[in-house]
Amino acid sequence: MTLTVADHRASAARTVSVARAYRFELVKLFSSWRVRLLVLACWIVPALFVAAVSQQSSLPVDTLFGRWMHATGWAGPLVTLGFSGAWALPLLTSVVAGDVFASEDRLGTWRHLLVAVRSPRRIFTAKALASLTAILLLVVGLVASSTVGGIVAVGNQPLVGLDGHTLAPSDAAGKVLLAWVCVLAPTLALAAIGLLGSVALGRSPMGLLLPVLVALAMQLAQMLPLPVAVRLALPGYAFLAWNGLFTDPTQLGPLLIGIAVALVWAVTATALAYLLFLRRDFTNLNDDGSGCRAVTAGVLPLAGLLAVTVAVVATATPATGSGIEQAKVQRSLATAFAHLYRLQAEELHRPAVTEAQLRATAACTKGSVAVGAHGPGNDWRCVVSWHLPDVQATGTAVYQLDVAADGRFVADGDGPKEVNGYFLLRAPTGDAPNPLWQFDGNVELLAATPKG
Amino acid sequence: MDTPLAIRARGITKCFGDVVALDGVDLDVARGQIHGLVGPNGAGKTTLLGLLLGLAVADSGRLDILGTPVGRALSAPDGVAGFVDGPGLYPSLSARRNLAALAALHGRDVRAAGIDDVLDQVGLTDVADDRTRGFSLGMRQRLGLAAALLTEPRLLVLDEPANGLDPAGKRHVHGVLSRLAAGGTSIVLSSHRMDDLEALCSEVTILSTGRVVFSGPLGKLAAENRELDYRLRTSDPRAALRLAADTDGIRTGDTADAAHGVEAGQDGAVLVVRARVPAVDELVRRLVLAGIAVRELAPVVSPLEAAFLALTEVREDGR
Record: contact A114-B55, CB cut-off 8 A? yes
Nearest CA in chain B to A20: B105
Spatial CA neighbour of B231 closest among B205, B203, B270: B270
Check whether B3 has a pLDDT greater than 70. Answer: no
Q: How many helices (H) and strands (E) does chain B have?
A: 10, 14
Provide mean pLDDT across the span A405-423. 87
Contact B196, B162 (CB under 8 A): yes
**C-alpha span between A405 and A345 (Å, rounded):** 32
- In this complex, the residue of A12, A16, A115 whose CB is nearest that of residue B54 is A115
Write down the domain spans for chain B: 5-222, 225-317
Q: pTM for this structure?
A: 0.83
Residues in chain B: 319
- In this complex, the residue of B79, B83, B88 whose CB is nearest that of residue A10 is B79
Helix spans in A323-399 (H): 326-347, 355-358
Q: Which CATH class is domain B5-222?
A: alpha beta
Record: contact A115-B104, CB cut-off 8 A? no
Task: Looking at the complex, report in whole angstroms how far the Cα of residue B74 sits from the nearest Cα belonging to chain A.
Answer: 7
**C-alpha span between B128 and B150 (Å, rounded):** 14
Check whether A282 has a pLDDT greater than 50. Answer: yes
| % residues pLDDT > 90 (chain A) | 51
Spatial CA neighbour of A382 closest among A364, A370, A404, A368: A364
Spatial CA neighbour of A31 closest among B88, B101, B91, B92: B92
Task: Looking at the complex, report in whole angstroms how far the Cα of residue A13 sits from the nearest Cα belonging to chain B.
Answer: 4
Round the average pLDDT of chain A to a whole number and report it.
87
User: What pLDDT is stored for residue A321 in this prediction?
Assistant: 83
Record: contact B83-A5, CB cut-off 8 A? no
Round the average pLDDT of chain B to a whole number and report it.
84
Q: Encode pLDDT of B86-122 as tens digits.
A: 888 899 999 999 999 999 988 888 777 789 999 998 8
User: What pLDDT is stored for residue B262 in this prediction?
Assistant: 54
Nearest CA in chain B to A19: B105
Nearest CA in chain A to B132: A107
Which of B26, B105, B188 to mutate against chain A (most A CBs within 10 Å)?
B105
Enclosing H/E stretch for A221: helix A205-223
Q: Encode pLDDT of A315-340 as tens digits.
A: 888 767 888 999 999 999 999 999 99
Contact A16, B76 (CB under 8 A): no
Record: contact A13-B75, CB cut-off 8 A? yes
Check whether A450 has a pLDDT greater than 50. Answer: no
B121-130 burial: b if 16+ Cβ within 10 Å, else e = bbbbeebbee
**C-alpha span between A32 and B116 (Å, rounded):** 24
Contact A298, A196 (CB under 8 A): yes
Q: Encode pLDDT of A50-101 as tens digits.
A: 999 988 888 888 888 999 999 999 999 999 999 998 889 998 998 898 888 8
Check whether A289 has a pLDDT greater than 90. Answer: no
Contact A395, A385 (CB under 8 A): yes
Provide mean pLDDT across the span A91-119. 87
- In this complex, the residue of A7, A21, A108 whose CB is nearest that of residue B86 is A108
Going by the DSSP 8-state scheme, the letter that residue A450 receives in this structure is P
Record: contact B66-A10, CB cut-off 8 A? yes
Spatial neighbors of B298 by CB under 8 A, at least 6 apart, are: B230, B231
Spatial CA neighbour of A103 closest among B89, B171, B198: B89
User: What pLDDT is stored for residue B42 in this prediction?
Assistant: 84
User: What pLDDT is stored for residue A386 in this prediction?
Assistant: 92
B225-317 is classed CATH 3.30.70: yes
Write down the domain spans for chain A: 18-316, 326-442
Record: contact B79-A7, CB cut-off 8 A? yes
Check whether A285 has a pLDDT greater than 70. Answer: no
Q: Strands B294-299 and B261-265: what pairing?
A: unpaired
Lowest mean per-residue pLDDT among A161-175, B29-43, B188-202, B293-307: B293-307
| % residues pLDDT > 90 (chain B) | 35
Spatial CA neighbour of B315 closest among B209, B205, B215: B209
φ, ψ (nearest 5 deg) of residue A181 = -65, -40
Check whether A176 has a pLDDT greater than 70. Answer: yes
Is the C-alpha dihedral spanning A368, A372, A378, A381 positive or negative? positive
User: What pLDDT is stored for residue A9 in this prediction?
Assistant: 36
**Alpha-carbon distances of B164 from A153, B161, B167, rounded to whole Å:** 59, 9, 10
Which of B31, B55, B98 to mutate against chain A (most A CBs within 10 Å)?
B55
Contact A329, A399 (CB under 8 A): no
User: What pLDDT is stored for residue A448 in this prediction?
Assistant: 58
**C-alpha span between A40 and B35 (Å, rounded):** 51
Contact A147, A425 (CB under 8 A): no
Task: Looking at the complex, report in whole angstroms how far the Cα of residue B82 sits from the nearest Cα belonging to chain A.
Answer: 8
Q: Encode pLDDT of B132-191 as tens digits.
A: 998 998 899 999 999 988 888 999 999 888 888 888 888 888 989 999 999 999 999 998
Which residues in chain A are closer than 8 Å to B144, comparing Cβ atoms?
112
Record: contact A28-B102, CB cut-off 8 A? no
Nearest CA in chain A to B84: A111
Provide mean pLDDT across the span A29-44. 94
pLDDT-derived band at B199 (thresholds 50, 70, 90) equals confident
Q: Encode pLDDT of A420-440 as tens digits.
A: 888 888 877 788 888 999 999
Higher-pLDDT residue of A415, A306: A306
Q: Helix A120-153 and helix A169-182: axis angle, to 10°?
A: 150
**C-alpha span between A413 and A437 (Å, rounded):** 5
Peptide bond preceding A249 in cis form (omega within 30 of 0): yes
Spatial neighbors of B134 by CB under 8 A, at least 6 apart, are: none
Which residues in chain A are closer than 8 Å to B105, comparing Cβ atoms?
16, 20-21, 23-24, 116-117
Provide mean pLDDT across the span B10-23. 89
